[in-house]
A and B are shown apart, each in its own frame.
Chain A
Amino acid sequence: MEYIDMHSHMTSRTTDCYYQMALTGCVAVSEPGFWMGWDRSSASGFDDYFRSLTDFEPTRAAQYSIKHVTWLCMNPKEADDRKMSRQVLALIPKYLDRPNVMGIGEFGLNLVTRNEVETFKDHVDLALEHNQMMLIHTPHLEDKYKGTRNIVETLLRYDKVDPKRVAIDHAEEHTMDMILTNGFVAGITLYPLTKVSLGRAVDMIEIFGRDHGDRIYVASACDWGPSIPVAMPQFMMEMRRRGHPESLIRKIVFENPVKFLSQSNKFQLPERRNKSSLLAAWSEQPSPATAAKP
């Protein structure tokens, strides 16, 4: 079954991950700007990062017929630094016309500090000024409920925010309702150890899908930490194990992402190549030793 991974930090993954994703049906990945696991020393590091997200990664993905789309922001882990946040936000407008940029994201909150909240509002202002969609990170673990509530309440104060153009990500059982009942799109991200499991993701589809099934998606959230780039097909398998029909699985992993992303007129699905051509593309990749030679 074809699927779109709405949240995958391919910058942190090898080309083999693209290959595995393509072989399991992935036709598009959505890569939000994020924290690389360490703080940048200056805003210029973000300039190179944004260039990579809008140039290098779509080229790498295209080798496997995967459409790569991206979102740009100052990530929540570094957003408490107000000075650097302003510098990074000033860099973003020049990238907004790039063909794979869907909007501003994944900005949001980390530990819910006053500085983070101010940087969050700066991002909303930037998105509204440039008529961009938004992809929003919610805090993890004990900070999730407080942070998500702050995010939702802040967004609702903006008359011009259209909730169906805003995805609020890393939703869990205790935050799904406030996201969905206020009209936003809810993203569920899968983690092998520390956060939402396959089973709990399916539970949330069962509980919230009846009333809001057209505004929920699931993603791998693969990055540099413990994560699985093919978590999406694992989720699909768990849906089948529970007895859910193929039509519902396709809605969550493909149709809903297409519906959300298609609100950007830049979003287009790639023409699929068959698996033999994918294998050929993989075998044509230079080995690390070959690539290192001048």
Chain B
Amino acid sequence: MNSVSGTCPLTLLQQVDEYFIENRNRVLEIAAFLDRLDRAPDPVRGDAFSDFRMEAFRKALAALAGETSSRVNQIQEIFSDPTTEPLEKLTRKSARGAYEPQKQEAK
């Protein structure tokens, strides 16, 4: 039992009954997204494919399969910028969803 046990009024079985199908679909959506990447006209497998967003995405998927009860926090941390110092200059307008270490450190 962790400190937030019992904060959802639904029992475990009630939650599964109510939410299983839509979450089953979410898992299939992610699988289809990854399969779609493999069907790209320029498929590159393994380490050669080094887009920082997808690297974070794969780490998030590993966290998703973990046994901890704080998966959301773990995944938020994986995607987050861990630095504390403000940027010297504005280099773009919007966030991209995942932290890009090399580029940030080169600034």
Interface residues on B, range: 20 to 34
Q: 0/1 per residue, B52-85, Cβ < 8 Å to A?
A: 0000000000000000000011001101111110
CB neighbours of A172 from chain B (8 A): 76
Count of A-B residue pairs with CB < 8 Å: 86
Chain A interfacial residues counted at CB < 8 A: 34
Shortest distance between the CB of A262 and any CB in chain B (Å): 28
A141 adjacent to B73 (CB under 8 Å): no
Interface residues of A in 130-161 (CB under 8 A from B): 139-146, 149-150
CB neighbours of A174 from chain B (8 A): 72-73, 76-77, 80
* Cα(A149)–Cα(B81), bound, Å: 11
A146 adjacent to B81 (CB under 8 Å): yes
CB neighbours of A173 from chain B (8 A): 72-73, 76
* Cα(A150)–Cα(B94), bound, Å: 18
Q: Choose the segment among A3-11, A23-31, A84-92, A238-246 that binds chain B (4+ C-beta atoms closer than 8 Å).
A: A238-246
A141 adjacent to B97 (CB under 8 Å): yes
- Given A141-B95, A141-B96; A146-B4 close (CB under 8 Å): no
Which of B's residues lie within 8 Å of A, judged by CB? 4, 7-10, 14, 18-19, 72-73, 76-77, 79-84, 86-99
Which of A's residues lie within 8 Å of B, judged by CB? 77, 80, 110-117, 139-146, 149-150, 172-174, 199-200, 203, 206-207, 209-210, 241-244
> Please, could you name 27 A-B residue pairs with CB atoms under 8 Å apart, sorted by A?
A111-B90, A111-B95, A113-B90, A114-B87, A114-B88, A116-B86, A117-B86, A141-B79, A141-B95, A142-B81, A143-B80, A146-B82, A146-B83, A146-B84, A149-B84, A150-B86, A173-B76, A174-B73, A200-B72, A203-B8, A206-B4, A206-B7, A206-B8, A209-B7, A242-B8, A242-B10, A243-B14
